[in-house]
């Protein structure tokens, strides 16, 4: 049975300006910067052993849910975040 990541397991690490999701002994990350009510996602990265298993999607979903909860608008500089939002219309209202 493969690991199914959960967006609820995503945590913010403001000291490192990134969201994190622990998976299989590694950590998937989504780096960001926040200014003037806008969170800009710059890069996402998942451990190579976890690719194609939904880890990146769970990470981005959790990060976007956190942005919504904080009332932040989103700028997806990262292509993975940009394509995730394009595939999930429920997050398109967050775009700055």
Mean per-residue pLDDT for 19-48?
94
Considering only 4-8, 16-20, 72-76, 83-87, which range has the smallest mean pLDDT?
A: 4-8
H/E stretch holding 81 reads helix 79-87
Domains belonging to the chain, first-starting first, are 9-94 (3.40.630.30)
Per the CB < 8 A criterion, the answer to whether 33 and 17 are in contact is yes
DSSP state of 95: B
pLDDT, position 5: 65
Mean per-residue pLDDT for 8-28?
92
Is the C-alpha dihedral spanning 19, 34, 64, 54 positive or negative? negative
Q: Where is pLDDT greater, at 5 or 40?
A: 40
pTM, full prediction: 0.91
């Amino acid at each position: 049975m493969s690991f199914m990541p959960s967006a609820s397991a995503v945590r913010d690490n403001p000291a490192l300006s990134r969201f994190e999701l622990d998976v299989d002994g590694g950590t998937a990350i989504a780096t960001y910067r926040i200014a003037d009510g806008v969170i800009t996602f710059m890069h996402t990265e998942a451990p190579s052993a976890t690719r194609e298993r939904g880890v990146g999607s769970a990470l981005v979903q959790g990060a976007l849910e956190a942005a919504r909860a904080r009332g932040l608008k989103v700028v997806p500089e990262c292509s993975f975040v940009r394509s995730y939002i394009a595939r999930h219309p429920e997050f398109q209202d967050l775009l700055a």
